Structure 1
Amino acid sequence: MEQFEMDLIEKHMAQDMELKSLWDLHLEYEQRLEKLLNKPFLSPTEESDVKELKKKKLAGKTKLQSLLDKYK
């Protein structure tokens, strides 16, 4: 995410609960992914979790982008 988008999120998330919720989910997915990807070996279940988290993160980012468009 670019800095101006991060600034928009910071500026508007106090008033826009949907934006805040999506941003919090994005951060959660990012942390969970980072934790899994830092492991030296992933089980098949963990590999599946990584794929699912990436999909959820991308879908959330798309929604986040559409919400940010109204603030640009």
Structure 2
Amino acid sequence: MSLALSACSTTPPPEPSPKQQNLMQRCPSVLPLLTTGTGEDVTLTMREWAAEYHRCAIRHNGLVDVLEGTP
């Protein structure tokens, strides 16, 4: 009589990927307001809006890349 031994093989759970804290920031919900309505004020405010959009877009796209596993 022969005995057959069997064993269960378990694989360890995957390690969570480290979080990149710079990607875990929310975009601002309030942008700078126009103060005087002059051409200079409009130009400076629009530049600040564009800069904030780009900072937020870089974080958002970086987070999407991390979640998708894109290098």
Give the TM-score normalised by the residue count of structure 2: 0.50
Comparing both structures, which one devotes a greater share of its residues to helix?
A: 1
What is the identity percentage for the equivalent residue pairs of Structure 1 and Structure 2?
Answer: 6
| 1:61 and 2:60 aligned | yes
Q: Give the alignment's Cα RMSD to 1 decimal.
A: 2.3
Q: Which has the higher contact order (CA 8 A, sep 6+)?
A: 1
Residue 17 of structure 1: which of 16, 19, 26 is its match? 19
2:23–2:59 contact (8 Å) kept in structure 1: yes
Structure 1 consecutive aligned stretches of length 4 or more whose deviation exceeds 6 Å = none
Task: Report the structure number with the largest CA radius of gyration.
Answer: 2
List gaps (5 residues or longer) in structure 1: 1-11
Q: Distance in 2 between matches of 1:16 and 1:48?
A: 34
List gaps (5 residues or longer) in structure 2: 1-15, 36-40
Deviation at 1:35, TM superposition (A): 3.5
